[in-house]
Amino acid sequence: MIVMHVDVNSAFLSWTSVEALRRGGTIDYRTVPAVIGGDEASRHGIVLAKSGPAKRYGISTAETLVEARRKCPGLIVLSPDHGLYSRCSDAMYEILCDYTDRIQRFSVDECFLDMTRSPKAQADPVKTAYEIQDSIYGELGFTVNVGVSNCKILAKMGSDLEKPDKVHTLFPHEIAAKMWPLPVGDLFMVGKSSRAKLESLGIHTIGDLANADRDFIKSMLKSHGELIWNYANGIDPEPVTPNDETARKGVGNSITIDHDVTDRGEAHRFLLALSEKVAGRLRAKGRRGSVITVSIKSADFRNYSHQRAIDGFTDSTDEIYAAAVSLFDECWNGEPVRLLGVSAGGLDNDGQEQLSMFGAQERETAGRADSVVDEIRKRFGRDAIMRASFVEGRSRGSDEKEEGR
């Protein structure tokens, strides 16, 4: 099997820069200290993407713009344009379709490609990866990294090895030399809480994790421990799944709203309602999700989405809602909203307890509350109990749609 992971370098900033140059601008923002920043007038003024020169000042994604400007007083801050990002993402996808029909859009700036049926890739996968890279740059003007391997996790880790504008292989025989020396926090699906737990056990590199006893790691981190142990060893049986198939495997809800939503708080209330329904359906199925996606349709019918792999698996309303709010706040640029969707993918069905961004006590309390709500609604109907925020800001007649039945 040949799998590639295509990842746009500093996507939001690259796309903004290419568009500015196309319109006659004289500054390539990729070559100067520049960032894409959220709303500075609110607490959501954070760095969404950064240039290489900005990174050299120590500026990091998700830090506040105030902190970023303190590090670099001459920093250029550019506003996000999610309509542009969607168009650039779609244009890249069209190019990738020339190489394979097995494409999984993992996020707006990342795609997995199953190249197994491509004779060209079978003959020389690295040459084909460079060809893809050159096609995207030649036609669209931005650079990508391409990881090449035999499975998704290694292709993704490969594309992250060195940036920008690189092609990297990471086949099983290269894991020990290329991946194992990296910090354990660099492994996909190892978030802050997992990293802290692993480091407390003396596991500091991906190699440390790979060479640890699998049963011990699983006993300490439950099903998530087994997953990341497998990833550290390059084990990933998940196929590249085109997104229409992925949607059927996940659980999601969307709502079409009969008025323009322009208030962040109102949008959050819709996200809470959707998160509660997604979590309830997960619990009913005995499943948990590890990838949360928020979808938005604006009043002028532009669609875009944002997704994130969380730290572990969850069926908790509070955890799904927290991720959904964070994703929405990162990608919403203030335009009127007419549709919102929340979905959970990357499902796990082994019935083991999920890891969480919350502590054990909060997790237990939230789990009990979710179970009580499920039971009351099962006996008396969905409207028998609702959160206070729903009562305060209950929506006017809107249409809902369930996904992933």
Catalytic residue list: 110
Distance CA 258, CA 202 (A): 54
**DSSP states along 141-156:** S--EEEEEESSHHHHH
Give residue 204's region: left, alpha or beta (phi > 0; psi -120 to 50): alpha
Nearest to 374 by CA among 365, 385, 364: 385
Question: Which amino acid belongs to residue 61?
Answer: T
* SS3 call for 17: helix
Return the number of other C-beta atoms located less than 10 Å from residue 263's C-beta.
Answer: 11
Q: Which positions ≥6 away from 269 have C-beta within 8 Å?
A: 389, 390, 392, 393, 395
Distance CA 137, CA 143 (A): 6
Instruction: Please provide residue 256's backbone torsions phi and psi, each rounded to the nearest 5 degrees.
Output: -95, 125
**DSSP states along 306-344:** EEEEEEEEE--HHHHHHHHHHHHHHH--S--EEEEEEEE
User: CA dihedral in degrees (301, 247, 187, 110; nearest 10)?
Assistant: -40
Distance CA 122, CA 2 (A): 7
The one-character DSSP state at 184 is G
288 is written with which tokens? 């948990």
Residue 112 in contact with residue 155, Cβ under 8 Å? yes
Residue 315 in contact with residue 33, Cβ under 8 Å? no
Distance CA 25, CA 76 (A): 14
β-pairing verdict for 337-345 and 289-298 = antiparallel
H or E element, residue 395: none
